[in-house]
Amino acid sequence: MFTGLIEEVGTVLGLDRTGAGARLHVANALPQDEIALGDSIAINGVCLTVVEKSSGRLSFDVSPETLERTLFKGLRPGSFVNLERALRLGDRLGGHLVSGHVDCIAVIRERREVSGNFLFAFQLPARYARYLIEKGSVAIDGISLTVNTVSDDGFTINIIPHTAELTTLRFRGPGDQVNIETDLIGKYVERLLGGKVPGEEKGVSLELLAKSGYL
């Protein structure tokens, strides 16, 4: 589990294909003595496991599903990526709960400066837009951000200069693509309210609420 607060921007050294999967190598300045093999690190919002480490270098195995679902297939040597180590029990939750499981890819439609801040507009598949709400949370390339407005197939966010400077968003503009993870709480709520369990009624209705003693 992660918070969406980026610790560092790393640099891709290589993405070596291994059949349908790959091994990703990233140069970074994270404290190597605090990272062990098997640790989880979010790379552009994707939870990956450390399989090799050396001075200033971490390597991760990337599954075929991850390559298909995310923008990893387009990473090249020199690409910049956001890095965040996994949340520890007792840490402050400064962003929001981020699982590191990307839902979809969004396209930047607009970027403009407003009073020193940066307003971004994104387009994404409508099936995922329903998980976004105004002033709710979204992870963009692993960055925890607040949603400004929502439409049927998109949303906008405001980026303060500090966030732009310390993440890969400073390099992003119209036409670029980003990894999106919507708020996981919304997805669980939808599943619980809309899912069908054998022998139980589907969803929530006035009849079900009355039967359960809420009315």
Domains present along the chain, CATH in parentheses: 8-85 (2.40.30.20), 104-191 (2.40.30.20)
Whether the predicted pLDDT of 53 surpasses 60: yes
Strand 57-62, strand 46-54: pairing: antiparallel
Residue 122: which of 186, 69, 177, 182 has the closest Cα? 177
pLDDT for position 27: 98
What is the C-alpha separation between 197 and 89, in angstroms, rounded? 33
Average pLDDT of the segment spanning 121-144: 95
pLDDT digits (tens, 9 = 90+) for 89-106: 888 788 898 999 999 999
Average pLDDT of the segment spanning 23-29: 97
Whole-model pTM: value is: 0.88
